[in-house]
Amino acid sequence: MSNVIFITGATSGFGRAAARRFAEAGWSLVLSGRREERLQALRDELAAKVPVHIATLDVRDAEAVQGMVDALPEAFRKVTVLLNNAGLALAPEPAQKVALQDWHTMIDTNVTGLVNVTHAVLPLLLETGKGTSIINIGSVAGEWPYPGGHVYGATKAFVKQFGFNLRCDLVSTGVRVTDIAPGMAETEFTLVRTKGNQAASDALYSTTTPLSAEDIAEQIFYVATLPAHININRLEIMPSRQAWSSFAVDRD
């Protein structure tokens, strides 16, 4: 029986790239996301290589998450890796200009959704046992503040600390926990954040060399396939052309 990876947010970006990378290595896939047509297309693409189970899912709905996990076919229940990838950023404007609903949406998806899925899938990981992994997609924004980061950065700080605390609770179980924190990566991230502004997305990534979704998928695969006695607590990944900036100072 092949290893099984359970991926949230599998319809684009890091999640979709990870599905393809693990399929190349022969892993069975449990793929979830909100966009059913994209899930079906990804299943059609990968099902010739490996077993694929898909489920249209909004991770913010705890009851739906638990129901989806409870209904997993037997062949997909021996989960080896949970990839908590579902998440989003909204409202890059200053905090004082942001709609409250955008803050709530980020919290509900990036925090509540991650907690919902982790709580539902953890018993399967514990049953599978030693060498299993929870891999959470965080962000450099969870460590390094920047203008317009407000709630998004705060949610990713939660992802980091939640993972660290899980490590403490799971230390004797064999279940590993990793926070993978990408920097600038060219995906649909900015399109979502700007609510479809293609020009803003193009401007962010032009004239530099950002990470790709495939770059991050390769690091996810590396972490997931390390020997069972090794745990990477946090992996922060930036493009070589990205670094930190100086402190902002308001002057007269």
Contact 125, 82 (CB under 8 A): yes
**Taking every pair of C-alpha atoms in the chain, what is the biggest distance, in angstroms?**
67
Is 189 in a helix, a strand, or coil? helix
Catalytic residue among 146, 152, 205, 222: 152
Q: Is 152 a catalytic residue?
A: yes
Token pair recorded at residue 109 = 């998806």
Kindly give, in sequence order, each residue whose CB lies less than 8 Å from that of residue 70, ignoring residues fewer than 6 positions away: none
Gap between the Cα atoms of 69 and 9, Å rounded: 15
Q: How many CB atoms lie within 10 A of CB 61?
A: 15
Q: What 3-state DSSP class applies to 26? A: coil
CB atoms within 10 A of CB 218: 14
Torsion of CA 58, 62, 67, 70, to 10 degrees: 110
In 3D space, the residue among 72, 182, 90 whose CA is nearest the CA of residue 128 turns out to be 72
Residue with tokens 């949970």: 82
What single-letter amino acid sits at 220? I
In 3D, which of 228, 246, 237 has the Cα closest to residue 80?
228
Residue 49 is which amino acid? K
Query: Which active-site residues does the annotation give?
Result: 152
